[in-house]
Amino acid sequence: MGHRGSRSLERSLRLLPLLNTQVQAHLLANALSLVGSLLRRRPDAAEDLLAYVAGYLRAQLGPRRTLVRLSDELRMTLTFVGIERARLGSRLRLEVAVAPDALDALVPPLVLQPLVENAVRHGVARRPAGGCVRISARVAAGLLHVAVADDGPGLRRHAGGACTGTAADGIAGETRAGGWGLTGLRLRLEALWGAAARLRVLTRPGGGVLAAISLPATFGRAMTVQTVRDACAPQAEGR
């Protein structure tokens, strides 16, 4: 890696903890707001929700990680689904189809949650009968492909169209794609992989929305910022 590339990586790595913290704050603010709305009319649901939030906070007390296993990220996302089920009950249905070899792939923390949140808030919750959110992941041709689909009303603009590009291109212009959650995700993908990571938000032909991420497939233990720095540091001459 050249000197200029090293400086760019260093700036990106310094930004990652701030981005992760902002995404986490976004999730907690939504959860605590929901607790407040449930306290009077459904105190039992509020109590269950607080238990989910407590579990989430305990999981965040460990070392800050730049990359985590997809299996750990999926576990945290299921905690978020539990939070939303306190609000939606049986209206929220979930399907998970993750290939076994994808479970150990490394991803940024909170890479799934913003996608699932969008699917729940803008897809399932807008329908009186509710709907289904499907999480899938697979590894193919050196890439990890992660997708979250819903069967809701779809994008409210550019129906039938797509918003595609690299993570750096962003997903501006789609009503469903707005908000800090996906913006923070886009910035974190760009900081780690640049144009090698891709984020797409598409209207599904049969209805609903598909949010899909592809990024270089890497495997191993969870990585801290320092681990990423060490892995990307230039090698000494003669080694």
What contacts 77, CB < 8 A, 6 or more positions away? 112, 113, 116, 135
Q: How many CB atoms lie within 10 A of CB 126?
A: 13
**CB–CB of 113/27 below 8 Å?**
yes
3-state secondary structure of 239: coil
> Which domains are delineated in the chain?
3-231 (3.30.565.10)
pLDDT given at position 172: 35
CA terminus-to-terminus distance, the chain: 15
What is the C-alpha to C-alpha distance for residues 67 and 222, in angstroms, rounded to an integer? 6
pLDDT given at position 8: 53
The amino acid occupying position 222 is: A
**Which residues lie across from 36 on neighbouring strands?**
none
**Which residues lie across from 136 on neighbouring strands?**
97, 147
Q: What percent of the residues of the chain are helix, what percent strand, and what percent coil, each to the nearest 5?
A: 50, 20, 30
What is the C-alpha to C-alpha distance for residues 80 and 72, in angstroms, rounded to an integer? 13
What contacts 159, CB < 8 A, 6 or more positions away? 203
What is the C-alpha to C-alpha distance for residues 83 and 98, in angstroms, rounded to an integer? 22
Residue linked to tokens 């990024």: 215
**CB–CB of 117/135 below 8 Å?**
no
Q: What is the CA radius of gyration of the chain?
A: 18
pLDDT in tens, the chain (239 residues): 444 445 555 555 566 666 667 666 767 777 788 788 878 888 887 887 788 777 777 766 666 667 889 998 998 888 778 878 877 889 999 999 999 999 999 998 878 988 998 899 888 988 889 999 999 999 999 999 999 999 988 876 433 334 433 443 333 333 344 455 677 788 888 888 888 999 998 888 878 999 999 999 998 766 555 555 454 444 444 44
Residue linked to tokens 């729940």: 120
Q: Which tokens belong to 207?
A: 């209805």
Tell me whether residue 141 is exposed, middle or buried, using C-beta atoms within 10 angstroms of its C-beta: 0 to 12, 13 to 18, 19 or more: exposed
Q: Which tokens belong to 17?
A: 């903890």
* Global confidence as pTM: 0.74
